[in-house]
Amino acid sequence: MKKSLFIGSVLFTVYAGSAFTGDLPPGSYTQTCTNASLQGETLTATCKRFNGSVKNTDLPFATSCVGIISNIDGNLACSSPTGSFARTCKNARVEGHMLFANCQRIDGSWKDSSTNFSGFQHPVTNCDGNLVDKPNC
C-alpha cells in the first residue's frame, strides 16, 4: 500500500505491507548506489562513499521507511524510523523525535499510539497497539 502525507511542508511517501513486489523503494540512494535489490524487507546495495570508494550495505525494514532512503557515506539510511510497525499501523507521521500512528491491536481493534524513538535506524514495533522503540515486544 502506498500513501502520501505531508509533515510540515515536506511530502513523504509511505509504503506498508507488501507494496514492494519487485520494485525498489524510492530515494536519492538510486543516484549513488548500484546493484540495489529488495530481499524480503531488506534493501541491499553497493553504495559510493564520500572518498569515492564503494561499500556493500543493507537497510533492514526498508519497506517500512516512513520517508525517503538515502546514501550517507556508503550506508543506506531512512529519513525516519523503520520497523515492523508499518505492517500493522497506518497513518504514520513523524514530529521531531516522536512517531505517531494508528495501530492494530491483537483483538483487531485500532489504537492511536506514539513513541519517542531513539534514532532513524532503530526499529520500532507495534506491541498490541502500542508503538515501542525496540525491535521486539
What are the average pLDDT values for consecutive 10-residue runs of the chain, which has 137 residues? 39 37 79 94 94 94 80 86 84 82 96 82 86 87
- How many CA atoms lie within 13 Å of 67's alpha carbon, on the beta-carbon side? 18
How many domains are there within the chain?
2
Co-location of 13 and 73 in the same domain: yes
pLDDT, position 35: 95
Closest CA to 89 of 123, 58, 62, 64: 64
Co-location of 66 and 31 in the same domain: yes
Boundary-marking domain end, from 78, 103, 122? 78
- Can you give the CATH number for the domain in which 121 is found? 2.30.60.10
Residue 45 belongs to what domain range? 2-78
Co-location of 57 and 12 in the same domain: yes
pLDDT, position 130: 95
Co-location of 53 and 21 in the same domain: yes
Alpha-helical segments (H) within the chain: none
pLDDT, position 18: 31
Co-location of 98 and 59 in the same domain: no
pLDDT, position 68: 80
Co-location of 54 and 72 in the same domain: yes
pLDDT, position 49: 95
Co-location of 67 and 89 in the same domain: no
pLDDT, position 119: 61
Co-location of 25 and 68 in the same domain: yes
